[in-house]
């Protein structure tokens, strides 16, 4: 069985992996959300110019 230090290390690694995944997901949504917003804005402007 793992000792107290091993359990603590595994818990910290698990938390670090979860935080890392959440940060990457947030970055992904920010990047593609901004791209989507500007595409919609561009489409709206070209529609109004016609």
Cβ-proximal residues to 10 (8 Å cutoff; 6+ apart), any chain? 2
What pLDDT score does 18 carry? 98
pTM above 0.75, yes or no: no
Nearest to 30 by CA among 20, 42, 38: 38
Domain ranges of the chain: 1-49
What pLDDT score does 9 carry? 95
Burial of 5-43, coded b for 16+ CB within 10 Å and e otherwise, reads: eeeeeeeeeeeeeeeeeeeeeeeeeeeeeeeeeeeeeee
pLDDT in tens, 8-50: 999 999 999 999 999 999 999 999 989 888 999 888 888 887 6
What pLDDT score does 13 carry? 97
What pLDDT score does 25 carry? 96
Query: Alpha-carbon distance 31 to 20, whole Å?
Result: 17
What pLDDT score does 50 carry? 64
């Amino acid at each position: 069985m793992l000792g107290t230090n091993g359990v603590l290390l595994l818990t910290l690694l698990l938390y670090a992996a979860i935080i890392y995944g959440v940060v990457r997901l947030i970055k992904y949504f920010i990047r593609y959300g901004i791209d989507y917003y500007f595409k919609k804005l561009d489409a709206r402007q070209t529609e109004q110019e016609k």
